[in-house]
């Protein structure tokens, strides 16, 4: 079978298509025949060596949508079930950008009703990141939240989920995204060319990675959550500062999948590429300017 891997770190030119055996399925696991797998910025980070692993062959891909192909002992799934799932962390030699992927059974959820595989594949990493970040913020109904990078994959889902929690949400993004974000549940909008009001928000989800500029918008004693552990700013004014380390969670993903099936969470696909053109897909991701995920289709 084919798998997208890197054996040296670098840009899109480092991406390889490797022939590997179909992976065995172990106890408590399922093997998924991949129908679609989203390409995320974290894949570019792995390709370029941010997570280490020099000298190893590293498999790329965290998100997956497809059908259950084989079931290990103790896994409560059936062959043919249509599923989505999240594989996290450093993988040698196989990720989800492959013809087949093996995941722990508790990292898998039913695919959302009414969505095709490409759109379903865009959901796991971004929706779980948004939901778990909001959990870390621990804001109560009516409290104020600023989401930076609000038109991106994680940011948009954070706006949508914050609306469901009854938070007062301000979205910070490009001026062109104001109408879109209002349609997804933002109560207020702030163009990214403007500086947020100092100490104005109970919490900030800094999906854009603005760091200290976003921290300045948090009230004394509030909460700042970033998306890249180790890159968060130092605390000040009694603000709780933390960063998300996203976890696979099939039960939570099932809930988010249901929201996507009703339209409460919007799955966005910018473009699809055949698996064999993964290098071109990485190059397009590097160009930026996308609204929605690039998805690889075996």
pLDDT band at 55, cuts 50/70/90?
confident
% the chain with pLDDT above 90:
94
Contact 125, 193 (CB under 8 A): no
CATH 3.90.180.10 maps onto the chain at 2-123+267-297
Label the pairing between strands 218-226 and 201-206. parallel
Contact 68, 104 (CB under 8 A): no
pLDDT band at 139, cuts 50/70/90?
very high
**DSSP H or E stretch at residue 224:** strand 218-226
Contact 37, 4 (CB under 8 A): no
Residue 79: the pLDDT is 98
Tell me the mean pLDDT in the region 97-110.
Answer: 98
pLDDT band at 276, cuts 50/70/90?
very high
Spatial separation of the C-alpha atoms in residues 268 and 289, rounded to whole Å: 14
Summarised one tens digit per residue, pLDDT across range 228-259 is 999 999 999 999 999 999 999 999 999 999 99
CATH number of 2-123+267-297: 3.90.180.10
**DSSP H or E stretch at residue 74:** none
CATH level 2 (architecture), domain 126-243: 3-Layer(aba) Sandwich (3.40)
Summarised one tens digit per residue, pLDDT across range 181-208 is 999 999 999 999 998 999 999 999 999 9
Label the pairing between strands 293-297 and 269-274. parallel
Q: How many residues comprise the chain?
A: 298
Summarised one tens digit per residue, pLDDT across range 25-47 is 999 999 999 999 999 999 999 99
CATH 3.40.50.720 maps onto the chain at 126-243
The DSSP symbol for 165 reads T
């Amino acid at each position: 079978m084919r798998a997208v891997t890197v054996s040296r770190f670098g840009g899109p030119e480092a991406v390889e298509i490797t022939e590997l055996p179909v992976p065995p399925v172990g106890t408590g696991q399922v093997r998924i025949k991949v129908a679609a797998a989203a390409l995320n910025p974290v894949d570019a980070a792995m390709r370029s060596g941010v997570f280490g692993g020099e000298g190893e062959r590293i498999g790329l891909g965290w998100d997956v949508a497809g059908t259950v192909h084989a079931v290990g002992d103790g896994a409560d799934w059936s062959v043919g079930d249509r599923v989505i799932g999240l594989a996290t962390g450093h993988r040698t030699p196989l990720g989800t950008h492959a013809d087949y992927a093996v995941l722990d059974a508790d990292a898998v959820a039913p695919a959302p009703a009414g969505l095709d595989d490409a759109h379903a594949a865009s959901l796991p990493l971004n929706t779980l990141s948004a939901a778990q970040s909001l959990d870390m913020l621990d804001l109560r109904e009516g409290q104020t939240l600023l989401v930076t990078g609000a038109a991106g994959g994680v940011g948009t889902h954070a706006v949508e989920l914050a609306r469901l929690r009854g938070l007062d949400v301000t979205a910070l993004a490009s001026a062109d995204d104001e109408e879109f974000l209002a349609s997804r549940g933002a109560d207020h909008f702030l163009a990214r060319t403007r500086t947020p009001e100092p100490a104005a928000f109970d919490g900030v989800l800094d999906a854009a990675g603005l760091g200290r500029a976003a921290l300045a918008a948090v009230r004394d004693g509030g909460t700042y959550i970033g998306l890249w552990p180790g890159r968060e700013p130092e605390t000040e004014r009694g603000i709780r500062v933390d960063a998300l380390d996203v976890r696979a969670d099939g039960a939570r993903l099932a809930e988010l999948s249901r929201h996507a099936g009703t339209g409460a969470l919007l799955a966005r696909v910018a473009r699809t590429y055949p698996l064999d053109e993964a290098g071109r897909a990485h190059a397009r991701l590097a160009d930026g300017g996308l609204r929605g995920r690039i998805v690889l289709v075996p």
